[in-house]
Amino acid sequence: MSSSSVLYDHPGPRARIRNAVLSVLFGVALLGLLYWIYTKFDQANQWELRLWEPFTRSTTWTQFILPGLWATLKAAGVGMVLSLAFGIIFAVGRLSDHRWISMPAGVVVEFFRAVPLLLMIFFVFYGVPFLIKGPVNAFWAVVIGLTLYNGSVLAEAFRAGIRSLPAGQSEAAYAIGMRKTQVMQLILIPQAARAMLPIIVSQLVVLLKDTALGYIVAYPELLQRGVNDLAANYGNIIAAAMVIAVLYIVINSLLTWLAGWLDRRSRVRGFRVPKQTAPANAPDSTPEGGATVSQPQG
């Protein structure tokens, strides 16, 4: 029986030629687009050395880019941890058998998924002080907004992952006397997290990029410091935007690579077969004298 998927047929000779021609045409079109962009920027004098020279100075990195990068990573790191915790808690809450738990959890998740993140950050920074009678730090305004929005999206991802698992696993766990909390913690959530890892990583990448919305509350993140503040001093907004875009690409690529490494490591550890050790009181199968007993052939 053929091992090829029923959803995909291997291309024949004509299809391979057509795919090769289309690939060449697309590559030529892409090169043409890049050349057109280059010429337009060249006409606007955006490739002049004076616009790129500030990036060769250490002060540009120590005063603008690196502080903004640290602020972005700090907000993203705290937001990722809190979003994952929020997502797991509310996913389990939505799956609860008690309606007094599942219904409020569903309302919270749907509400924060529907509210724009920018509006959430704005409200936490400017609206919450009226409730607590005190100011809210810009860092926490950004982190809370990221947590509420991305945590709600992750809650739906976890819930979908848990529901996608075969029902026989939870039924078998209940049959041996496990409680629902144990089933969720030991069986369902670890498998759902592994199955939904691509979606989780995609949402964490979105969270990292959404830290740029902190400009609404003057949070000094990477885009604010590396583009707005830097361009205000050197007048090189296009060059600054390109450099910061490359940094975002590198950071997100590292995050994706880390997630892939964790997935591969967890799969290897999950399928590792433990070594069998003989009990201490087991009889020695080797006769005295060290001779081995040959098994009869037959």
The per-residue pLDDT for 28 is: 95
Q: Is 151 exposed, middle or buried (0-12, 13-18, 19+ CB in 10 A)?
A: buried
Residue 246 lies in a domain: yes
Of the candidates 247, 263, 243, the residue with the CA atom closest to the CA atom of residue 199: 263
The per-residue pLDDT for 243 is: 92
**Global pTM value:** 0.76
Residue 39 lies in a domain: no
For 163, list phi and psi in degrees, rounded to 5.
-70, -25
Percent of the chain clearing pLDDT 90 (strictly above): 43
Residue 281 lies in a domain: no
Report how far residue 131's alpha carbon sits from residue 123's, in angstroms, rounded to the nearest whole number: 11
Residue 120 lies in a domain: yes
Q: Which domain holds residue 253?
A: 47-268
The per-residue pLDDT for 82 is: 96
Domains in the chain: how many in total?
Answer: 1
The per-residue pLDDT for 289 is: 47
Contacts of 10 (CB under 8 A, 6+ apart): 4
How far from chain centre, in Å, is Cα 82? 13
Residue 111 lies in a domain: yes
The per-residue pLDDT for 270 is: 53
Among left, alpha and beta (phi > 0; psi -120 to 50; other), residue 218 is left
CATH assignment at residue 216: 1.10.3720.10
Residue 179 lies in a domain: yes
The per-residue pLDDT for 268 is: 65
Q: Tell me: the pLDDT tens digits for 77-101?
A: 999 999 999 998 999 899 888 889 8
Contacts of 106 (CB under 8 A, 6+ apart): 94
For 275, the token pair is 């070594």
The per-residue pLDDT for 231 is: 86
Residue 13 lies in a domain: no
Segments of the chain scoring below 50 in pLDDT: 1-6, 271-274, 276, 278, 285-298
Residue 51 lies in a domain: yes
- Average pLDDT over the chain reads 83
The per-residue pLDDT for 187 is: 84
